[in-house]
Amino acid sequence: MRKIIFDTDPGIDDAYAIITAMKHPDIKVLGICTVAGNKGIEFTTTNAQKLIKLMNYDCQVYKGAKDSLLKVADDAGATHGIDGLGGVPLVYDKSSLSSISAVDYILNTVKENPNEIEIIAIGPVTNIALAIRKDKETMKKIKAIYTMGGGVYRGNITPVAEFNYWYDAQATKEMFELGVDVPIHMIGLDITHKSIVTNNDLEFMKMTGGELGQLLYDMILPYVEAYWKFSKYTGCVIHDLLCMIYAIDQTVCPKEAIYHSHLEVSTTGITIGQTVVDIVDSWKQPKNVYVPLKVDENKYKELFFKIVFGEEVAEMYRKYVLS
């Protein structure tokens, strides 16, 4: 069993990623650490608790940073709906919130399971940076970090910066300094925007996915409207889901297009939050990131349907949607 800790700010796309991990037979989600980002910390924490209840999963939520190290904004606004989960009514148990802080939880868990813990960081990475500041030696014993953020050739919150990293550029910089010791895989906008989940896909999920399919469909509608309005996509980009699927099966990205490179983060000026990735290795600096730049979008979506809804649905997806 792979041991996973989520560091997240749910968020619709976070919810997709978390549910997928919880559905995977070989993955144990040990805990969910929350951070402010898509919404304020109270919202993201309750949303994480709601997901645990929804999936009837055995783990707890660990509340993390309320502010980024370099505070630039409050949250991602209306993209994720008023409550951050598309307004879908969900309940939660108070008992699923631990009294341990996110940073301590991460450090304790890594200490107890050296070189076994994988972190799926799909929000701003403030908690990771704080944990590194507190105990870098322990953090070096993380098995791997899969992080959704950044981009090599594009941004979203600015022309060059992606939201998660822009939200806490300083923390991002500090996280990637760990990349020399711990493999960090960056799932950036270059490939998330090549993996559009179309409305055909979503309607298919609604038709074949039963109750959970209907719920995931209802949840994502604000996204669909936002992506049409701002990007003219007939569908949406579920960034964090791609990060999760890649963590599950790296072959969704062709091996030759995964670059092991040196990455720097801009922490000042108009480029704040931008990831500068030396793909061609002109700087000859130590390599601290794996960046996939191509993705097999059909394989990605098929895997999602297979993990969450089963082989039969995936088969139908191949037959009716992909062909």
Residues at the site binding another protein, with contacts judged by CB under 8 A: 152-154, 158-160, 198-204, 206-208, 224-225, 228-230, 232-235, 264-271, 274, 276-280, 282-283, 319-321
Residue 53 and residue 90 in contact, taking contact as beta carbons nearer than 8 Å: yes
List Cα–Cα distances, 49 to 34, 179, 282, 318, in angstroms. 10, 30, 45, 33
Minimum CB separation of residue 159 from another protein in Å reads 4
Q: Which is nearer to another protein, 255 or 319 (CB)?
A: 319
Q: What are the CB-based long-range contacts (under 8 Å, 24+) for 193-196?
A: 193/154, 193/237, 194/294, 194/295, 194/297, 195/237, 195/238, 195/242, 195/295, 195/297, 195/300, 195/301, 196/233, 196/235, 196/236, 196/237, 196/297
List Cα–Cα distances, 86 to 10, 19, 245, in angstroms. 11, 15, 22
Minimum CB separation of residue 279 from another protein in Å reads 6
Minimum CB separation of residue 198 from another protein in Å reads 6
Q: Which is nearer to another protein, 115 or 231 (CB)?
A: 231
Q: Which is nearer to another protein, 143 or 206 (CB)?
A: 206
**End-to-end CA distance of the chain, in Å?**
34
Buried residues in 4-20 as b, exposed as e (16+ CB within 10 A): bbbbbbbbbbbbbbbbb
Minimum CB separation of residue 258 from another protein in Å reads 17
Minimum CB separation of residue 259 from another protein in Å reads 11
Q: Which is nearer to another protein, 87 or 114 (CB)?
A: 87
Q: Which is nearer to another protein, 187 or 189 (CB)?
A: 189
Q: Which is nearer to another protein, 7 or 162 (CB)?
A: 162
Minimum CB separation of residue 269 from another protein in Å reads 5
Q: Which is nearer to another protein, 180 or 226 (CB)?
A: 226
Which runs of consecutive H residues, i.e. helices, occur in the chain? 12-23, 41-55, 102-112, 126-134, 136-139, 163-167, 169-177, 189-192, 199-208, 210-231, 239-248, 297-309, 311-316
Minimum CB separation of residue 208 from another protein in Å reads 8
